[in-house]
Amino acid sequence: MITSNIRKNITKKTLKNSILDGACHSAMLGLTQSYIVPFALALRATTAQIGLLSSIPGLTMALSQFAVPRLTERAGSRKRFILPVVLLHALMWIPILLVPHLFPGNKMWWLIGFMTLSTVFGSLANPAWGSMMADLVPENKRGRYFSLRTKICNFVMLIVSFAAGGILQWTTGNTFLGFSVIFGGAVLSRLASWYFLSQMHEPSLTSTTKNRSSLLSVIKRTWSSNLGRFMVYVSLVNFATCLAGPFFAVYMLRDLNFSYLTYVAINATSIVATITFLTLWGKRADRAGNIKIIRITSFLIPLVPLLWLVSRQAYFLIPIQILSGFAWSGFNLATTNFLYDASPRENRTQSIAIFNAVNGIAICFGALVGGFLAPRLPHLSGSNLLTLFLISGVLRGLVVISPLRKISEVRHVPKVSTPELLFGKPVLLWAGIKNKLVPAFLPVQRLKAVTIPSNFLLPLSWSYQRARVSRSPPFFDDS
């Protein structure tokens, strides 16, 4: 029989292995995520093909999520399902790096095909992994743990991304050699991630065959359930985001002619901002809940693409990336944690799979619509992509205006005002000073009422009543 101390030690070791797994996975992402579009551009991809490269893998990934709960059940455990698909994900980068060297014809179609398989294998493990991690991390500590894990992952991604950009800059005369080196590093990084996953302990989970709702019944309840409305809201935000998301790289490398190092520096700024603000968001999420953070960050997200219209200078784009990192780090952390909180434990794998599917379909159609629109839009300041950024920003704003009010927090959390959540308790210092100063000045007001003409008594009486009322509610209360 496993004692409580042994169980705690096993869980602690598993969570450490999860961080190491995440670091290695992030190394793979740092070597690939920002460089697939440049790789496609080196293969002479058109704007429409860039849209297909972002949309077809996403659509296939989304549809594959519906099979994950059944496949996990057949595997017998979540871990037994995770390990084979992660191994296949690692190996899929080998044919991708060989596309320029071995495959005939239009190489872009080979790239789209292999990226589709890679994306599917990379995403199949997510629902089972999320279900397992939600069991391992206590509800009231998820904000801190996942913010720490994400911070470490993003730091690794930042360093590796800079290294990849340096390799590409160094091999400018033979670009495909540089891509082969960084994609080969991606294979090794994902294999290391697979190893650390194999060292993790999986908490026991009772059979869910009888308890899990059918897919059709879940879809029917989508608009009436809190979790369903959340899924729809996040998916709409990501649809509006992905109208422009895949094309920022095209804009920087093709329209602005930035070097690889400048391109990496601008992307890295967002990662640095994410690393910087994740601790803040993690602590705030544990204290104030996730919906509060989603509300705040949602109203910042539409500003990001709109600010790209202001200037083409790299020094101006860097502060925009800081804002992007601030907003998206909080939004992504809070949405993930809310999904874990709102999903019933016995059906969590299915809930995460459905969320990934709905969200993936939205991302796919966003990129597909963006790729269709981009060449057909009128130019704005010399680029049709800027027009696409404008549309994306406006749509993001329309999404965040109303649906969010219908989503409620599922945990019992204290009421925290927006300024206190953003800046901490010191922001309430003025409230304390004000509450102490107002009573001290009241005798002076009474004295003035005696010594000045009677026609001033009415305004002074109103001022006194206003001072009394202002002390009653909290000074910063946005309810």
Contact 179, 99 (CB under 8 A): no
Phi, psi angle pair for 59, to nearest 5°:
-65, -45
Q: Is pLDDT larger for residue 77 or for residue 458?
A: 77
Contact 255, 304 (CB under 8 A): no
Confidence band, pLDDT 50/70/90 cuts, at residue 466: very low
Of the chain, the percentage scoring pLDDT greater than 90 comes to 40
Distance CA 352, CA 340 (A): 8
Q: Give the pLDDT confidence of 326-340 residue by residue, as tens digits.
A: 999 999 999 999 998
Q: Measured on CA atoms in the order 285, 119, 162, 245, is the torsion positive or negative?
A: negative
Confidence band, pLDDT 50/70/90 cuts, at residue 446: very low
Q: Give the pLDDT confidence of 123-146 residue by residue, as tens digits.
A: 999 999 998 998 888 887 888 899
Confidence band, pLDDT 50/70/90 cuts, at residue 67: confident
The helix/strand/coil state of 383 is: strand
Nearest to 246 by CA among 342, 365, 123, 350: 365
pTM above 0.85, yes or no: no
CA distances from 337 to 26, 134, 137, 436 (A): 19, 9, 11, 40
Q: Give the pLDDT confidence of 371-430 residue by residue, as tens digits.
A: 889 889 999 988 999 999 999 999 999 998 876 667 888 888 778 777 777 776 654 444
The helix/strand/coil state of 224 is: coil
Contacts of 354 by beta carbon, 8 Å cutoff, 6+ apart: 65, 66, 215, 218, 231
Q: Give the pLDDT confidence of 284-314 residue by residue, as tens digits.
A: 888 888 998 999 999 999 999 999 999 999 8
CA atoms within 13 A on the CB side of 414: 7
